[in-house]
Amino acid sequence: MKTRKIPMRKCIVSNEMKPKKELVRIVKNQAGEVAIDPTGRMNGRGAYVSLEPALVQKAWKQHLLDKHLETAISDAFYQELFDYVEHQKARSLL
């Protein structure tokens, strides 16, 4: 049986290559709006962060998403991202 290729992406916080399913994509569309992309298929510039709450906290402290997406991102969005990652991490442990 033929083995399938696993898409790999780089986490902007840890600089580790990981399978795409272990990361969350944050996308900035042409209108400049930033959103969490759970499907990984939205149009726009994307950045990936690991599904680790500690790494999201680090990205929040250093404003890494602001730098990668070249836009100002509010603390409310970082909080939403943190909550999303915590939820996904809890789901994966079940």
Note down pLDDT in tens along the chain; length 94 residues: 889 999 999 999 999 999 999 999 999 999 999 999 999 999 999 999 999 999 999 999 999 999 999 999 999 999 999 999 999 999 988 8
How many domains are there within the chain? 1
Q: In the chain, which ranges are continuous DSSP H helix?
A: 53-62, 64-69, 75-93
Amino acid letter, 34 = V
Indicate whether 75 belongs to any domain.
Answer: yes
The whole-model pTM stands at 0.92
**Could you tell me if residue 2 is inside a domain?**
no
Composition of the chain by helix, strand, coil, percent to 5? 40, 25, 35
**In terms of Cα–Cα distance, which of 28, 36, 78 is closest to 53?**
78
Has residue 49 been placed in a domain?
A: yes
Residue 17 belongs to a domain with what CATH number? 3.30.1230.10
Count the neighbouring beta carbons within 10 Å of the beta carbon of residue 37: 18
